[in-house]
Structure 1
Amino acid sequence: MRTVPDFPKPGISYKDITPLIEDGDALHAATDALHGATKHLEYDRILSAEARGFVFGTALAYRARKGLILARKPNKLPRETISASYDLEYGTDILEAHADSVSEGARVLVADDLLATGGTARAMCDLVESAGGTVAGVAFLIELGYLDGRSRLKPYEVVSLITYATPND
């Protein structure tokens, strides 16, 4: 992985995961490690957000033999949807999921590539709960600890494989 300074705007230290994704052995190892760190959570499905979240959500769903629920930008899903808005470290957005993707009482693992401010993950948790499901936990490849996104995800169990304590790590 590498850090790209001032992307997508000045002051942001973007964590580029494409080198890991492009390396088959590294992607396999990261997926196995994420699966190992989350298998105790007992979940029925995984919910991930586009676009980079789909990479790890899909790989983890395949590894765990679980279904994958897609959280997408508005107007990208064909059936009735539920939505949640959220703040990013550099803007605001909305996520949608199919209204019937989370059954009443389903335990859902929320998975994404990166925990920054916690806005995206919190919106995904809100989607699960608004559909009648339970958030089993929240899992990330990377956590930007200096942005304290974990605090927005209480009381859920948060799992991350790599934590950056400062923007310069």
Structure 2
Amino acid sequence: MPDDLLHHVIGPTPYSPLWLWTAIGLIAVLCAWYAAVFVLTSRRRPVRELPVLGAARAELLRRRSARAVRAIGNRYRAGDLTAAGAGAALSGELRTFLHAATGVQAQYMQVDAIADSAAARAAPILAELTDIQFNHRSALDAATASATAEELIRGWT
């Protein structure tokens, strides 16, 4: 074999540095995943007490609950719900929000017990919603109660 053809033969091509950086990035993502799972599942501190995650969770919770309350109010104004049905739906959504925001088991508590808890600011609105739900001669308006509940949820800290 002549020596002039050997300059066309080369050794194996090296690996691209892209594969190395991809592997390092995937390992970093895996470590972050394990750290997040450990932090979020430890029962020593609830998620709402963590600085960044707690604030983001609270904001998303407020937005979702306010949107749900507004939708209930719109359904009442459109005539899809009766006053009693709107009062029940608003009360349920507000109690679910209070449980998620404060940890108080508001779904199972009476209004007087809520007034003595960390969710005391919501007790007057819940009393109005109870009156709308169970008193057919109530002078209170479910649309106004919906707006008040939405305002409470948006301003909750």
User: Where on the TM-score scale, by shorter chain, does this alignment land: which range?
Assistant: under 0.3
Select the structure that is richer in helix: 2
Which TM-score applies when normalising by structure 1?
A: 0.24
Select the structure that is richer in strand: 1
Which TM-score applies when normalising by structure 2?
A: 0.25
Higher RCO (C-alpha under 8 Å, 6+ residues apart): 2
